[in-house]
Amino acid sequence: MNCEASIVKSALKAKNTCLCNHLRTADRVVRQIYDEALRPLGLKPTQFTLLNAILLREPVKQNVLAECTLTDRTTLTRNLSSLERQELVQIQQGSDRRVKEISLTLKGKQLLTEAYPYWEKAQTKIEELIGKGELFQLLAELNEVTGKLSGK
């Protein structure tokens, strides 16, 4: 096999079997649906997800939030700073000076409450496109894979 045929074979294998590639492609398609639904509120899907995670755990320590969202601390700090500038979250020093506790502000809770129907619209569209059963099966498989790969 010559070099060119070998590299084409490798490229095809990467294209067809790379989990990262397939997840990123699916993420772009899915994110467009949520982006479109949440756009009237000026909210991005990543912000919605983070606000929702905070609401379910508040007050939540920043390191705990990073662990449960599987977000590196630098990215989480940047995303939280943006939400804080928008007055959607409050970041307070915990009892230990090194610990920061995050909670939603009233404005953050109001925006999240307003966002749920928009999120439902996107969720319903996805369910209609791929089927409710298939969606729940996919979510279960993704949770299993995420757990295995993250060691959690």
Phi first, then psi: give them for residue 5, nearest 5 degrees: -65, -35
Residues 57 and 65: beta-carbon distance below 8 Å: yes
Q: What's the pTM?
A: 0.86
pLDDT in tens, the chain (152 residues): 577 878 888 888 888 889 999 999 999 999 999 999 999 999 999 999 999 999 999 999 999 999 999 999 999 999 999 999 999 999 998 778 788 999 999 999 999 999 999 999 999 999 999 999 999 999 999 999 999 998 86
- Range(s) of the domain holding residue 120: 1-150
Reduced to 3 states (helix: H, G, I; strand: E, B; else coil), residue 70 is coil
* Angle, alpha carbons 39-32-132 (nearest 5°): 105
What CATH number is attached to the domain comprising 113? 1.10.10.10
Looking at the structure of the chain, the number of domains it has is 1
Say how far apart CA 66 and CA 78 lie, in whole Å. Answer: 12
